Structure 1
């Protein structure tokens, strides 16, 4: 990879960006939101073959190939009913290499090439003719103990990695990590409380999951959730995460919330009940955050399982989701009326709708002390998306009402390259401010270190406000 990759093309600005990047590139990585399976690190077993590490679990990759008519079964993606899917890792890898041209200009290509070069030390360009050569080189690395998960964690300079679990998870992997000195409060691998599967009435099987939680009444439901939050905090959690279809919040009267819950448990939910319940529960969770200190994250705006055929074959989280327009100003008002200025409360807002950065999210973060802006997420976490984000929000929210970078990935080996991409983009943005005499170089250097390292630690309460 070129040493100036992603830095500005204009020579004078590029020179400043190089200097700023130098202040951030070697800082430890803080990964406060992601979806890496904690068992990978708890068990510390060798990774599987290159295809099952890099292709099969990455829905960015499988989605692009599927858009050109290549079925997920040919890419080894497991099926819901257990019907056959490709098991030959080399065949999957060859399919990726034969279609590598589809990824030109995409962040998936950028991340994957940098993983190949920087994590695995493979200099050969991926293409159809080199598929086996690249595959064999990665496979050889994976057989080396230095490429086991914990060894890579150390090499990646990861200071902390947050995973994401349901309240129904027994947190066994995190218990093993804690026993090994890797987890627990202040640990290197921590959990995040993600209650969507017991809050979303539209998610098939909701009543059964509530029964597993041990809740028969709405009051009991809230008690069980508080108990699980306490267990998550004991396992190191500093935040909760909520992936709702919209940002709607609603403070229902207690009797109305209880009646809605009872209807849903009996299978008699009425139209609109699911949205009202999700909205009300966001306010309840904010109240819990005031009590227990978990930072609240809200990730709205995805129409989940839009591709119903894909969902039927392969289940959730395999690339069938689509962003939708999302409104925040009115949607969040009930929650912010209650907690937006409470010093005990903190919420980090994300979006898949770029149109709201300037109009809604930056003004909200610039007005409410409890509100911080999350980094570009999912469909927006590209170099272009990261640049547009800084351009859209800085004039109103500044830098210090943002929460730093989050990688939001299941692809463990891509974590360092994703963080490096963000640091390079921020170096370019700040270099332009310096070149235009809008910010002194020393302040820009301090800012890029804050964006890369200090801000996520402070916002996610890993350390004090002055860290």
Structure 2
């Protein structure tokens, strides 16, 4: 018995399916490049066993617990920590049983495929997961987690990860990255510069965060010049720990290019907490352009992840904190929003900006045409709510005709769920193989070209785009 169909995600037509399978066979075992994600660097630093199956698969995975919550299952019952770090349910077996009893809710979702892949390929389980097999699964996975070959570093190597990036705040001292580096372990775990905490005036802790930034960097962040210098210094520090990219999770893709005196005045009002919604958005917009200018100096690739209304539920935010499944996609403009930054620095040699979206309507209308002409722009893969097989296929269908393959950057898994990394990359490789096989069988791509493009989409493009 197998949880997975060997031909999953391939076209139904026998000839096209056979070609997709042949393409996939040449890329399925290529090393994994994971240039953007949210795994915890502490895992690799301490290399401690994962605590239990529930804390590995349920409590850290907002894809899983948001679905269960939508059906009336409380986050307390699933052991999801409160904002103060406390947990209501701490019995892993009880959490696991609830998960198993409601596993059917994930039917047809990418999470179901990722989980089945993890159960079968990582832990060697083949019986369908559900209430009747929950105890067997829990005991088996627990036994595995107690063994050295299931510790984070061993799994990192087993998964074939060549390099993985974590996403860290400028206020992070990167102690875990230092521990990894000093340990002598050859696994390549790098950081990425995520300055949201010190560029978003809507954050209640903005002023305190900026003050802490100044303390860490040794600059006077009460001044605009000192604030920008603090960013430069922290970016340089992150580069010491392997950073090749910055990451910007703004509500919109808006950019601005204010005269420096106006930007300084805006910053002063931000520190004083005197910005309305429009001015707060203007400050974030200005900071995207400032970050692009810094990229020209230090070479960090810019990732822009806009378009999420984060923490849509105020009560859930107050009780549980951020990243608890209440981030919702919004409509996003790119053409007008990016123009100030592109006019300022978009034609400068060496600038590289990777654009993501949660608004699929922008693929063909805005993003593909922009990336199809601006040398600095590349398209990030289908992201977050769209990192499903259908979402990845739509991405290829709506962008390839205008941007081609070589203005995209391969795949990144963007996950907190460690065991889902090989599963997510496998889905991407299967979807790309199916898309390429369809192009060949419909006369739009030569077969030898399809095999070359498959290698590019899986491995070469991501290494080039992220300077890895």
Indicate the TM-score class for this superposition, using the shorter chain for normalisation.
over 0.9
Does the CA contact (< 8 Å) of 1:124 and 1:134 recur in 2? no
For 1:24-423, what aligned pairs fall within 5 Å after superposition? 24-82=27-85, 84-182=87-185, 188-214=188-214, 215-423=221-429
Report the Cα distance in structure 1 between the residues aligned to 2:346 and 2:233, rounded to whole angstroms: 25
The structural deviation recorded for 1:191 is 0.1
1:398 CA drift (Å): 0.5
Unaligned runs of 5+ in 1: 463-467
Q: Distance in 2 between matches of 1:78 and 1:94?
A: 18
| Contact 2:257-2:344 at 8 Å conserved across structures | no
Residue in structure 2 matched with residue 449 of structure 1 by the alignment: 455
Report if the CA contact (8 A) 1:244-1:299 is conserved.
Answer: yes
In the TM superposition, residue 218 of structure 1 has moved relative to its aligned partner by 1.1
SS of the residue corresponding to residue 262 of structure 1 reads helix
Q: Distance in 2 between matches of 1:270 and 1:410?
A: 33
- Which residue pairs with 1:428 in the alignment? 434
- Name the CA distance, whole Å, in 1 between partners of 2:276 and 2:406: 43
Q: 1:128 to 1:176 in 2, by over 3 A?
A: same
Tell me which residue corresponds to 2:217.
Answer: none
Q: CA RMSD in A?
A: 1.0
Retained in 2: the 8 A contact 1:207–1:265?
yes
Alignment TM-score, normalising by the size of structure 1? 0.97
Please report how far the alpha carbon of residue 336 of structure 1 lies from its aligned counterpart in structure 2 after TM superposition.
Answer: 1.0
Q: Could you tell me whether the CA contact under 8 Å between 1:94 and 1:131 is conserved in 2?
A: yes
Q: Is the 8 A contact 1:339 1:370 kept in 2?
A: no
Structure 1 CA distance for aligned equivalents of residues 344 and 274 of structure 2:
30
Residues of 1 paired with 2:182 and 2:85: CA distance?
35
Distance 2:231 2:366 in 1: 31
1:269 is displaced (CA, Å) by: 2.2
Deviation at 1:267, TM superposition (A): 2.4
- CA contact 2:80–2:87 (8 Å) conserved in 1: no
